[in-house]
Chains A and B, each alone.
Chain A
Amino acid sequence: MLKKIPFSSDAEDAIRWLSGALISLAVIHGLIGLIYITCGTCGGLWGSWLMFSADPILGVVMTTIVLIGFVIGLILLFQAFVLLGARTQFALVLQTDDDDQTYLVKGLAKLRTFFIVEIIFLLLAIASSALTAVQSALQLGSHLI
Protein backbone atom coordinates (compact mmCIF):
# COMPACT_ATOMS: atom_id res chain seq x y z
CA MET A 1 0.00 0.00 0.00
CA LEU A 2 1.25 3.45 -0.86
CA LYS A 3 1.14 5.76 2.15
CA LYS A 4 1.87 8.79 0.02
CA ILE A 5 1.21 9.19 -3.70
CA PRO A 6 3.45 12.04 -4.92
CA PHE A 7 0.81 13.84 -7.00
CA SER A 8 1.90 16.67 -9.28
CA SER A 9 0.58 20.14 -8.42
CA ASP A 10 -1.82 19.87 -11.40
CA ALA A 11 -3.19 16.59 -10.04
CA GLU A 12 -3.56 18.08 -6.56
CA ASP A 13 -5.46 20.99 -8.11
CA ALA A 14 -7.68 18.52 -9.95
CA ILE A 15 -8.45 16.68 -6.69
CA ARG A 16 -9.14 20.01 -4.95
CA TRP A 17 -11.55 21.08 -7.72
CA LEU A 18 -13.13 17.63 -7.73
CA SER A 19 -13.69 17.87 -3.95
CA GLY A 20 -15.28 21.31 -4.34
CA ALA A 21 -17.54 20.14 -7.14
CA LEU A 22 -18.54 17.03 -5.16
CA ILE A 23 -19.60 19.04 -2.12
CA SER A 24 -21.53 21.54 -4.29
CA LEU A 25 -23.30 18.72 -6.11
CA ALA A 26 -24.02 16.96 -2.80
CA VAL A 27 -25.70 20.12 -1.45
CA ILE A 28 -27.75 20.49 -4.67
CA HIS A 29 -28.82 16.82 -4.64
CA GLY A 30 -29.62 17.02 -0.94
CA LEU A 31 -31.75 20.15 -1.33
CA ILE A 32 -33.66 18.81 -4.34
CA GLY A 33 -34.15 15.48 -2.55
CA LEU A 34 -35.52 17.22 0.53
CA ILE A 35 -37.86 19.37 -1.59
CA TYR A 36 -39.15 16.25 -3.38
CA ILE A 37 -39.68 14.43 -0.07
CA THR A 38 -41.23 17.26 1.93
CA CYS A 39 -43.05 19.72 -0.35
CA GLY A 40 -43.61 17.31 -3.26
CA THR A 41 -44.98 14.48 -1.15
CA CYS A 42 -47.11 16.62 1.18
CA GLY A 43 -48.53 18.78 -1.62
CA GLY A 44 -48.94 15.82 -3.94
CA LEU A 45 -50.74 13.66 -1.38
CA TRP A 46 -53.06 16.57 -0.51
CA GLY A 47 -53.82 16.95 -4.23
CA SER A 48 -54.41 13.24 -4.75
CA TRP A 49 -56.70 13.12 -1.70
CA LEU A 50 -58.78 15.91 -3.24
CA MET A 51 -58.68 14.13 -6.60
CA PHE A 52 -59.89 10.82 -5.13
CA SER A 53 -63.30 12.35 -4.38
CA ALA A 54 -63.66 13.61 -7.97
CA ASP A 55 -62.17 10.61 -9.81
CA PRO A 56 -60.75 7.60 -7.93
CA ILE A 57 -58.69 6.37 -10.93
CA LEU A 58 -57.02 9.77 -11.34
CA GLY A 59 -56.45 9.77 -7.58
CA VAL A 60 -54.62 6.43 -7.78
CA VAL A 61 -52.53 7.70 -10.73
CA MET A 62 -51.68 10.90 -8.85
CA THR A 63 -50.75 8.97 -5.69
CA THR A 64 -48.47 6.68 -7.72
CA ILE A 65 -46.74 9.71 -9.27
CA VAL A 66 -46.30 11.25 -5.80
CA LEU A 67 -44.82 8.02 -4.43
CA ILE A 68 -42.42 7.81 -7.40
CA GLY A 69 -41.38 11.41 -6.59
CA PHE A 70 -40.83 10.36 -2.95
CA VAL A 71 -38.57 7.48 -4.04
CA ILE A 72 -36.63 9.81 -6.38
CA GLY A 73 -36.19 12.20 -3.44
CA LEU A 74 -34.79 9.38 -1.30
CA ILE A 75 -32.40 8.34 -4.09
CA LEU A 76 -31.22 11.96 -4.48
CA LEU A 77 -30.55 12.14 -0.72
CA PHE A 78 -28.65 8.85 -0.95
CA GLN A 79 -26.57 10.29 -3.81
CA ALA A 80 -25.86 13.40 -1.71
CA PHE A 81 -24.46 11.22 1.09
CA VAL A 82 -22.40 9.19 -1.40
CA LEU A 83 -20.93 12.39 -2.87
CA LEU A 84 -20.14 13.74 0.61
CA GLY A 85 -18.42 10.45 1.45
CA ALA A 86 -16.32 10.62 -1.72
CA ARG A 87 -15.43 14.24 -0.98
CA THR A 88 -14.26 13.31 2.54
CA GLN A 89 -11.95 10.61 1.16
CA PHE A 90 -10.45 12.91 -1.51
CA ALA A 91 -9.91 15.61 1.11
CA LEU A 92 -8.00 13.05 3.22
CA VAL A 93 -5.78 12.27 0.20
CA LEU A 94 -4.84 15.96 0.06
CA GLN A 95 -4.57 16.64 3.79
CA THR A 96 -2.80 13.52 5.05
CA ASP A 97 0.07 11.28 3.97
CA ASP A 98 -0.73 8.23 6.09
CA ASP A 99 -2.71 6.07 3.62
CA ASP A 100 -3.31 7.89 0.32
CA GLN A 101 -3.98 4.73 -1.69
CA THR A 102 -6.76 3.49 0.60
CA TYR A 103 -8.44 6.91 0.80
CA LEU A 104 -8.27 7.30 -2.97
CA VAL A 105 -9.79 3.89 -3.70
CA LYS A 106 -12.51 4.48 -1.07
CA GLY A 107 -13.36 7.78 -2.80
CA LEU A 108 -13.44 6.08 -6.21
CA ALA A 109 -15.70 3.33 -4.77
CA LYS A 110 -18.19 6.01 -3.69
CA LEU A 111 -18.08 7.54 -7.18
CA ARG A 112 -18.70 4.08 -8.69
CA THR A 113 -21.91 3.88 -6.60
CA PHE A 114 -22.88 7.39 -7.75
CA PHE A 115 -22.39 6.47 -11.43
CA ILE A 116 -24.43 3.25 -11.05
CA VAL A 117 -27.37 5.34 -9.78
CA GLU A 118 -26.74 7.85 -12.58
CA ILE A 119 -26.99 5.03 -15.14
CA ILE A 120 -30.42 4.10 -13.75
CA PHE A 121 -31.54 7.76 -13.92
CA LEU A 122 -30.21 8.08 -17.51
CA LEU A 123 -32.04 4.91 -18.59
CA LEU A 124 -35.27 6.25 -17.04
CA ALA A 125 -34.76 9.62 -18.79
CA ILE A 126 -34.22 7.90 -22.15
CA ALA A 127 -37.25 5.64 -21.62
CA SER A 128 -39.37 8.66 -20.67
CA SER A 129 -38.19 10.59 -23.76
CA ALA A 130 -38.92 7.57 -25.97
CA LEU A 131 -42.46 7.29 -24.56
CA THR A 132 -43.03 11.01 -25.10
CA ALA A 133 -41.72 10.67 -28.66
CA VAL A 134 -44.12 7.81 -29.40
CA GLN A 135 -47.02 9.80 -27.92
CA SER A 136 -46.05 12.90 -29.95
CA ALA A 137 -45.68 10.82 -33.13
CA LEU A 138 -49.17 9.36 -32.62
CA GLN A 139 -50.53 12.86 -32.04
CA LEU A 140 -48.77 14.07 -35.20
CA GLY A 141 -50.24 11.14 -37.12
CA SER A 142 -53.76 11.98 -35.99
CA HIS A 143 -53.17 15.66 -36.96
CA LEU A 144 -52.13 14.60 -40.47
CA ILE A 145 -55.14 12.27 -40.88
Chain B
Amino acid sequence: MSIKHIPLTADQEKVINGLALAMTIAGPLAVLAGLTELGVGILQQSIIDVPDGENKMINIAMTLGCGSLGFIFKVALGIWLITGARAFKAIVTSDDDDQAYLEIGLSKLRNVFVTKVVVIFMMVIGALAVIALVAGVAAIFASIS
Protein backbone atom coordinates (compact mmCIF):
# COMPACT_ATOMS: atom_id res chain seq x y z
CA MET B 1 0.00 0.00 0.00
CA SER B 2 1.49 3.31 -1.08
CA ILE B 3 0.61 6.68 0.47
CA LYS B 4 -0.74 9.10 -2.14
CA HIS B 5 -0.48 12.21 0.02
CA ILE B 6 2.12 12.76 2.75
CA PRO B 7 0.82 15.56 5.02
CA LEU B 8 3.93 17.75 5.09
CA THR B 9 4.03 20.91 7.21
CA ALA B 10 5.08 24.20 5.59
CA ASP B 11 8.56 23.89 7.18
CA GLN B 12 8.95 20.32 5.93
CA GLU B 13 7.92 21.37 2.41
CA LYS B 14 10.55 24.11 2.60
CA VAL B 15 13.21 21.55 3.55
CA ILE B 16 12.30 19.23 0.67
CA ASN B 17 12.13 22.12 -1.80
CA GLY B 18 15.54 23.29 -0.58
CA LEU B 19 17.00 19.82 -1.01
CA ALA B 20 15.55 19.55 -4.54
CA LEU B 21 16.99 22.96 -5.45
CA ALA B 22 20.44 22.10 -4.04
CA MET B 23 20.46 18.80 -5.95
CA THR B 24 19.31 20.53 -9.16
CA ILE B 25 22.25 22.95 -8.91
CA ALA B 26 24.80 20.33 -7.80
CA GLY B 27 23.96 17.93 -10.68
CA PRO B 28 25.00 20.09 -13.65
CA LEU B 29 27.92 21.52 -11.63
CA ALA B 30 29.25 17.99 -11.04
CA VAL B 31 29.18 17.31 -14.80
CA LEU B 32 30.82 20.68 -15.54
CA ALA B 33 33.52 20.00 -12.93
CA GLY B 34 34.24 16.60 -14.51
CA LEU B 35 34.44 18.16 -17.96
CA THR B 36 36.79 20.99 -16.91
CA GLU B 37 39.06 18.58 -14.98
CA LEU B 38 39.32 16.34 -18.06
CA GLY B 39 39.97 19.28 -20.40
CA VAL B 40 42.58 20.87 -18.16
CA GLY B 41 44.33 17.52 -17.63
CA ILE B 42 44.69 16.97 -21.38
CA LEU B 43 45.75 20.60 -21.96
CA GLN B 44 48.45 20.36 -19.28
CA GLN B 45 49.78 17.04 -20.59
CA SER B 46 49.98 18.47 -24.10
CA ILE B 47 52.18 21.43 -23.06
CA ILE B 48 54.45 19.69 -20.54
CA ASP B 49 57.94 19.05 -21.91
CA VAL B 50 58.64 15.33 -21.54
CA PRO B 51 62.16 13.95 -21.06
CA ASP B 52 63.84 12.22 -24.02
CA GLY B 53 62.62 8.69 -24.54
CA GLU B 54 59.15 9.35 -23.16
CA ASN B 55 56.18 9.56 -25.44
CA LYS B 56 53.93 12.55 -24.89
CA MET B 57 51.02 10.82 -26.60
CA ILE B 58 51.09 7.99 -24.01
CA ASN B 59 50.81 10.58 -21.19
CA ILE B 60 47.91 12.28 -22.98
CA ALA B 61 46.19 8.92 -23.61
CA MET B 62 46.59 7.94 -19.92
CA THR B 63 45.18 11.30 -18.78
CA LEU B 64 42.33 10.87 -21.25
CA GLY B 65 41.64 7.33 -19.99
CA CYS B 66 41.67 8.17 -16.26
CA GLY B 67 39.95 11.51 -16.82
CA SER B 68 37.19 9.90 -18.89
CA LEU B 69 36.50 7.43 -16.08
CA GLY B 70 36.20 10.32 -13.61
CA PHE B 71 34.02 12.19 -16.08
CA ILE B 72 31.67 9.20 -16.51
CA PHE B 73 31.27 8.98 -12.71
CA LYS B 74 30.52 12.72 -12.55
CA VAL B 75 27.93 12.42 -15.36
CA ALA B 76 26.25 9.52 -13.54
CA LEU B 77 26.21 11.55 -10.30
CA GLY B 78 24.79 14.54 -12.19
CA ILE B 79 21.98 12.48 -13.74
CA TRP B 80 21.04 10.87 -10.39
CA LEU B 81 21.08 14.24 -8.64
CA ILE B 82 18.79 15.81 -11.24
CA THR B 83 16.33 12.88 -11.39
CA GLY B 84 16.33 12.66 -7.57
CA ALA B 85 15.65 16.41 -7.35
CA ARG B 86 12.67 16.02 -9.72
CA ALA B 87 11.24 13.24 -7.55
CA PHE B 88 11.59 15.30 -4.35
CA LYS B 89 10.06 18.32 -6.07
CA ALA B 90 7.10 16.16 -7.15
CA ILE B 91 6.39 15.25 -3.50
CA VAL B 92 5.75 18.92 -2.75
CA THR B 93 4.06 19.94 -5.98
CA SER B 94 1.72 16.95 -6.50
CA ASP B 95 -0.46 14.69 -4.39
CA ASP B 96 -0.89 11.77 -6.78
CA ASP B 97 1.72 9.35 -5.39
CA ASP B 98 3.96 11.01 -2.79
CA GLN B 99 5.42 7.79 -1.39
CA ALA B 100 6.48 6.54 -4.83
CA TYR B 101 8.26 9.85 -5.50
CA LEU B 102 9.90 9.68 -2.07
CA GLU B 103 11.15 6.16 -2.77
CA ILE B 104 12.53 7.25 -6.17
CA GLY B 105 14.29 10.21 -4.53
CA LEU B 106 15.79 8.03 -1.80
CA SER B 107 17.01 5.44 -4.32
CA LYS B 108 18.74 8.20 -6.34
CA LEU B 109 20.36 9.53 -3.15
CA ARG B 110 21.57 5.98 -2.40
CA ASN B 111 23.10 5.79 -5.90
CA VAL B 112 24.84 9.15 -5.42
CA PHE B 113 26.37 8.34 -2.02
CA VAL B 114 27.27 4.71 -2.76
CA THR B 115 29.02 5.85 -5.98
CA LYS B 116 30.93 8.53 -4.06
CA VAL B 117 32.16 5.93 -1.56
CA VAL B 118 33.07 3.44 -4.33
CA VAL B 119 35.03 6.12 -6.24
CA ILE B 120 36.99 7.10 -3.12
CA PHE B 121 37.81 3.44 -2.36
CA MET B 122 38.88 2.90 -5.98
CA MET B 123 41.16 5.95 -5.76
CA VAL B 124 42.70 4.70 -2.51
CA ILE B 125 43.18 1.18 -3.92
CA GLY B 126 44.63 2.67 -7.14
CA ALA B 127 47.05 4.83 -5.17
CA LEU B 128 48.13 1.85 -3.03
CA ALA B 129 48.57 -0.28 -6.18
CA VAL B 130 50.80 2.39 -7.76
CA ILE B 131 52.87 2.69 -4.56
CA ALA B 132 53.22 -1.12 -4.39
CA LEU B 133 54.19 -1.25 -8.08
CA VAL B 134 56.81 1.49 -7.71
CA ALA B 135 58.18 -0.13 -4.53
CA GLY B 136 58.30 -3.53 -6.28
CA VAL B 137 60.10 -2.18 -9.35
CA ALA B 138 62.54 -0.27 -7.10
CA ALA B 139 63.21 -3.45 -5.10
CA ILE B 140 63.85 -5.44 -8.31
CA PHE B 141 66.28 -2.80 -9.62
CA ALA B 142 68.03 -2.66 -6.24
CA SER B 143 68.48 -6.45 -6.18
CA ILE B 144 69.85 -6.44 -9.77
CA SER B 145 72.37 -3.69 -9.11
Interface residues of A, Cβ cutoff 8 Å to B: 1-2, 5-8, 10-11, 14-15, 17-18, 21-22, 24-25, 28, 101, 104-105, 108-109, 111-112, 115-116, 118-119, 122-123, 125-126, 129-130, 132-133, 136-137, 139-140, 143
Q: Contact: B109 with A111, CB < 8 Å?
A: yes
Query: Which residues of the partner chain B approach A105 to less than 8 Å between Cβ atoms?
Result: 8, 12, 15-16
Q: Contact: B26 with A122, CB < 8 Å?
A: yes
B6 on the A face (CB < 8 A)? yes
Q: Contact: A101 with B12, CB < 8 Å?
A: yes
Q: Contact: B107 with A11, CB < 8 Å?
A: yes
Among B31-39, B58-66, B133-141, the stretch that binds chain A is B31-39
For the complex, would chain A's binding face be called helix, strand, loop or mixed by DSSP majority? helix
Q: Contact: B6 with A101, CB < 8 Å?
A: yes
Task: Knowing A5-B3, A123-B29, say if A112 contacts B106 (CB, 8 Å).
Answer: no
Of all chain A residues, the one with the shortest Cβ separation from B108 is A14
Give the Cβ gap from B7 to chain A, nearest Cβ, in Å: 7
Interchain CA distance A108-B25 in the complex, whole Å:
16
Task: Knowing A6-B3, A108-B15, A116-B22, say if A125 contacts B37 (CB, 8 Å).
Answer: yes
B4 on the A face (CB < 8 A)? no
Interface residues of B, Cβ cutoff 8 Å to A: 1-3, 6-9, 12, 15-16, 18-19, 22-23, 25-26, 29-30, 32-33, 36-37, 39-40, 43-44, 46-47, 88, 99, 102-103, 106-107, 109-110, 113-114, 116-117, 120
Which one, A1, A111, A136, A143, contacts B19 given CB within 8 A? A111
Query: Which residues of the partner chain A approach B43 to less than 8 Å between Cβ atoms?
Result: 133, 136-137, 140
With A11-B106, A126-B29, A133-B36 known, 5 other A-B pairs at CB within 8 A are A17-B110, A25-B116, A28-B120, A126-B32, A139-B47
5 smallest CB-CB distances across A and B, nearest first, come from A21-B113, A115-B22, A129-B36, A112-B19, A11-B103
Return 30 A-B CB contacts under 8 Å, by A number. Answer: A1-B9, A5-B99, A6-B2, A6-B3, A8-B103, A10-B103, A14-B106, A14-B107, A18-B109, A18-B110, A21-B110, A21-B116, A25-B113, A28-B117, A101-B12, A105-B8, A105-B16, A108-B15, A108-B16, A112-B15, A115-B19, A115-B23, A119-B29, A122-B32, A129-B33, A132-B44, A136-B40, A136-B44, A139-B47, A140-B43
